[in-house]
Amino acid sequence: MTQINNKFSTTPNDFKVVIWALVSKDYDVGKIQDRIGESIGFLETWKNKSVDQKAVDIYGILSDKRFVEVCGEMGARKKIKVECLEPEKAWELFQDKVGDETLNSHPDIPNLAKQVAERCGGLPLALITIGRAMACKTTLGEWKYAIEMLKRCALPKMENEVFPLLKFSYDNLPDATMKCCLLYCCLHPEDYCIPKKRLVEYWFCEGLLNQFDRIS
């Protein structure tokens, strides 16, 4: 979805305005309206209006637009379960993130890599995250250790969830500085937009980084 949004935002198309509004599990209607209002072009003072007033203004602008028609035709109230990737597709994605150089660094690594990919359960986010974490692992010991750690990370009630897989990726960050910087992001609300430059400034202010630190 992010790639689709970026494509519409950077290339010529038939839409005058592209609106991207994230809706988290514990969403705030007012904040969602504010994001839509920014895309439409409402002034900053518009955010001071009530939720009902904002709804009227937004509907007044978008009611006759193609955007509303598309949403209506999608049947947004119908829940559609997104299935995990099939084993073959999952392996292709994992290979792409690990890279041929690493996979070809030892004849036994591809087989071990398949075992790691299987532990991801077909979850695209897990395949991408762990694939990138293993991209520089060129020894059998590192891959065997990864398999063992993934087995240990699988909590009894979360075997099919992303959390233990992301924890593995976190544990494989190169140093404590990067781990602290990542954990600092958790202080922000879900779906909060954090400007990169400001985030780095926060890290410096909190003492997580100094002028000699480098994060790629």
**Domain with 162 in it: what CATH number?**
1.10.8
CA distances from 87 to 74, 100, 159 (A): 29, 19, 17
Q: Do residues 96 and 131 lie in contact, with contact meaning Cβ atoms separated by under 8 Å?
A: yes
| pLDDT tens track for 162-201 | 677 778 888 888 888 888 988 888 888 776 778 888 899 9
| pLDDT tens track for 3-24 | 554 555 565 555 666 677 766 6
Judge if 158 and 181 occupy the same domain.
no
**Residues of the chain above pLDDT 70, percent:** 72
Structure tokens at 112: 């071990």
Distance CA 164, CA 52 (A): 41
Q: What is the chain's mean pLDDT, rounded?
A: 79
Instruction: Provide the residue range defining the domain that includes 113.
Output: 87-172
Judge if 52 and 123 occupy the same domain.
no
